[in-house]
Structure 1
Amino acid sequence: MKKAIFGGTFDPIHVGHLHIAYEALYNLNLDKVIFMPSGNPPHKMDRVVTAAKLRYKMVEAAIQKEPLFELSDYEINNSSVSYTYKTMEQFHYLEPETDWYFLVGVDSLMDLKKWKNVHIILQHCKLAVFSRPGYANEDIIEMKKFIEETYKQEIIYLEMPILDISSTVIKKKMTLNRQVDYLLPCGVQEIINNYHIYK
């Protein structure tokens, strides 16, 4: 089996996230993509993040019609800080025969040397990096080479069409009472409205 974990705050999940998941699914020939809403991400401790259970509900609604997508509550049920190396240790322990991948944006690749216990992450999975706006291709290739040489592990670069959508922009549009339905997967807007999120 080949499975990828797609972590993120998903605050809210949007069509750009689904685009990335499908591109990874097809390009890596995956059996499953597991969406992993973050619990207490160390790099976002200074930001206000929507309650984990509501972010979980939004992801659940967004992926409910795709049988190759799954949802995990592992990190949101963990009260400690959500470190990727701990997540990958746990999933590798539960399914040691699975070929694990971890999906991250190129911004994470650029900051990877600041992550905790990178060597443990790369022991338990292959890192698959997707494009994001604002990064020069030569800078990405240079950092990819640096990480590979430093940790002796291959980094997969998924070159895919970029959908320039962000959760931050969506929330800003909502504060201006602008329409965002076209940026959100089916069912997500209804949850936002029902629970008065982002008001």
Structure 2
Amino acid sequence: MTPRRTGILGGSFDPIHWGHLRLALEAAQAARLDRVLLVVSKDPPHKQPDTPAAQRLEMAALGAGASGGPLEACGIELELPGKGYAAQVVAALARAYPGEAFFYLVGSDLLPTLPYWKDSAQLLALAQVLCVPRPGWRLEEGVFQRLSAACGGRVERLEIPVPEISSTQVRQLLRAGEPVEGLIPQPV
């Protein structure tokens, strides 16, 4: 029996927007994923979310439902002790869903730092890494090949379209009382 192919897209999702959802949907199609888990970050090391984690999880669930695709909100990181590093999250998912094949989505902006992530070897043992484009970030082929080799060949590049939408942009529009139609799903 073929294991279920599960993608993992982590983020603060503050708020979740069509950029996140379209990226997850495009990755699901390109990598033949059965589902993509939208893993809500508890305490991201690089930014402080404006919205409490429980509300961000609820927004992720609403966005997943509105996407019409195989997306599911996942709060597993919120239950972990400490920061909830990528390797911890994937290990927890592997325990929760034994026998599944995991695919961790990483933006081209963060891929160069992957070999230096906490417990990156464990992450690479548990999941194939799918590098997705980020607006404004182009990873040269030679750099990508060196990174892939450094990660034991466990990194694959997905060339998929990615909308240029950011949560910061959405929050700024909301604060200014500007419309956000087309940027976030209606239920959010």
Is the shorter-chain TM-score for this pair beyond 0.5, marking a shared fold? yes
**CA 1:67–1:176 in 2, change beyond 3 Å: closer, same or farther?**
closer
SS in structure 1 of the partner of residue 10 of structure 2: strand
Structure 1 stretches of 4+ with a deviation exceeding 4 A read none
- Give the aligned partner of residue 117 of structure 1: 119
**CA 1:48–1:97 in 2, change beyond 3 Å: closer, same or farther?**
closer
- Give the aligned partner of residue 37 of structure 1: 40
- Is the aligned partner of 1:168 residue 2:177? no
Q: Are the aligned partners of 2:8 and 2:37 in contact in 1 as well (CA < 8 Å)? A: yes
Give, in whole Å, the separation in 1 of the partners of 2:162 and 2:96: 34
Q: Are the aligned partners of 2:27 and 2:160 in contact in 1 as well (CA < 8 Å)? A: no
Letter in 2 for 1:56: L
**CA 1:151–1:67 in 2, change beyond 3 Å: closer, same or farther?**
closer
User: CA offset at residue 145 of structure 1?
Assistant: 1.6
SS in structure 1 of the partner of residue 75 of structure 2: coil
- Give the aligned partner of residue 102 of structure 1: 104
User: CA offset at residue 108 of structure 1?
Assistant: 1.5
Give, in whole Å, the separation in 2 of the partners of 1:7 and 1:25: 14
Q: Are the aligned partners of 1:42 and 1:82 in contact in 2 as well (CA < 8 Å)? A: no
Q: Deviations over 1:79-107 (max 9, x none)?
A: 42111111111222333321110112111
Candidates 13, 26, 32, aligned match of 1:23: 26
- Give the aligned partner of residue 143 of structure 1: 143
Per mean C-alpha deviation after superposition, the further-off stretch among 92-101 and 79-88 is: 92-101
Letter in 2 for 1:122: L
TM-score by length of structure 1 reads 0.85
Give, in whole Å, the separation in 1 of the partners of 2:63 and 2:49: 22
Q: Are the aligned partners of 1:39 and 1:79 in contact in 2 as well (CA < 8 Å)? A: no
Per mean C-alpha deviation after superposition, the further-off stretch among 17-26 and 76-85 is: 76-85
Question: Which ranges of structure 1 fall in alignment gaps of 5 or more residues?
Answer: 189-199
TM-score by length of structure 2 reads 0.90
**CA 1:108–1:155 in 2, change beyond 3 Å: closer, same or farther?**
same
Give, in whole Å, the separation in 2 of the partners of 1:148 and 1:43: 24
SS in structure 2 of the partner of residue 156 of structure 1: strand
Candidates 44, 69, 72, aligned match of 1:70: 72
- Give the aligned partner of residue 14 of structure 1: 17
User: CA offset at residue 143 of structure 1?
Assistant: 3.2
User: CA offset at residue 115 of structure 1?
Assistant: 1.3
Letter in 1 for 2:114: L
Give, in whole Å, the separation in 2 of the partners of 1:68 and 1:161: 18
